[in-house]
């Protein structure tokens, strides 16, 4: 595809470039096969992501990070967290009103924050737990993660205004919930390393 169309701006619809190129390669029949396969892949991917998110909410509800009564239950017959599946589906439907660039930007809001703290955690491990203070340890546990923090913060600050506002509101809701849950940080945060019930994944 890249060889045939090195400049996708030549296409009528950049977002729908793949079906257009498929039609150019093999005609309408190949385009139909391509789109059919693509839709099956999207369906499989979407179901996987929805169930993964629902299970994550269930685990957080079970461990007390989210309200247990709403998020911590499963259907006794199927073992599926039905309420969580419906919540994730309702949130996913909001994608109907968001274009691809906006959706990617909003996803990246959380991703860049997460990656920043992953790098910071490596630095924390170095100063808190690692006894080794060799040059390679400083490089691997401090210098490289610090560069990662700078890059992720820079990318985070480059996101568009709408994503920053929506992500900021979502972040504020999470902070307020944490403060309420911990009574102003006077109580311990919920332990997210709760018991693993292997049977529920079988």
Q: Specify whether 58 is located in the same domain as 79.
A: yes
Which pLDDT score, from 0 to 100, does residue 181 have?
87
Distance CA 70, CA 61 (A): 7
DSSP class of residue 158 equals T
* Count of the separate structural domains present in the chain: 2
3-state SS string for 30-57: HHHHHHHHHHHHHHHHHHHHHHHHHHHH
Distance CA 111, CA 159 (A): 12
Q: Specify whether 113 is located in the same domain as 196.
A: yes
Please enumerate in sequence order all residues whose Cβ is within 8 A of that of 11, keeping only pairs 6 or more positions apart, or say none. 5, 17, 20, 21
DSSP class of residue 164 equals H
Q: Specify whether 78 is located in the same domain as 106.
A: no
CB atoms inside a 10 Å sphere around CB 61: 21
Q: Specify whether 190 is located in the same domain as 110.
A: yes
Q: Could you list the residue range(s) of the whole structural domain that residue 154 is in?
A: 100-202
Instruction: Categorize the per-residue pLDDT at 192 as very low, low, confident or very high, splitting at 50, 70 and 90.
Output: low
CB 57 within 8 A of CB 66: yes
Q: Specify whether 83 is located in the same domain as 120.
A: no
Instruction: Categorize the per-residue pLDDT at 201 as very low, low, confident or very high, splitting at 50, 70 and 90.
Output: very low
Which of 38, 69, 97 is a domain's end point? 97
Q: Is the dihedral of CA 124, 128, 130, 135 positive or negative?
A: positive
CB 130 within 8 A of CB 137: yes
87-136: pLDDT as tens digits: 999 988 888 888 777 888 888 999 999 999 999 999 999 999 988 889 99
**What's the whole-number mean pLDDT along residues 187-201?**
58
């Amino acid at each position: 595809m890249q060889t045939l169309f090195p400049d996708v701006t030549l296409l009528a619809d950049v977002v729908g470039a793949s079906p257009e190129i498929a039609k150019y390669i093999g005609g309408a029949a190949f385009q139909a096969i391509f789109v059919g396969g693509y839709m099956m892949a999207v369906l499989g991917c979407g179901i996987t992501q929805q169930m993964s998110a629902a299970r994550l909410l269930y685990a957080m509800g079970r461990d007390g990070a989210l309200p247990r009564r709403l998020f911590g239950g499963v259907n006794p017959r199927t073992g599926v967290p039905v309420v969580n599946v419906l919540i994730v589906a309702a949130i996913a439907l909001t994608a109907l009103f968001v274009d691809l660039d906006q959706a990617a930007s909003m996803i990246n809001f959380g991703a860049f924050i997460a990656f920043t703290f992953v790098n910071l955690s490596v630095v924390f491990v170095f100063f808190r737990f690692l006894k080794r203070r060799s040059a390679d340890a400083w490089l691997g546990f401090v210098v490289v993660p610090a560069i990662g923090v700078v890059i992720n913060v820079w990318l985070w600050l480059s996101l568009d205004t709408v994503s920053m506002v929506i992500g900021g509101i979502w972040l504020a809701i999470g902070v307020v919930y944490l403060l309420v849950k911990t009574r102003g940080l006077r109580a311990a945060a919920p332990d997210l390393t709760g018991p693993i019930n292997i049977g529920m994944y079988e």
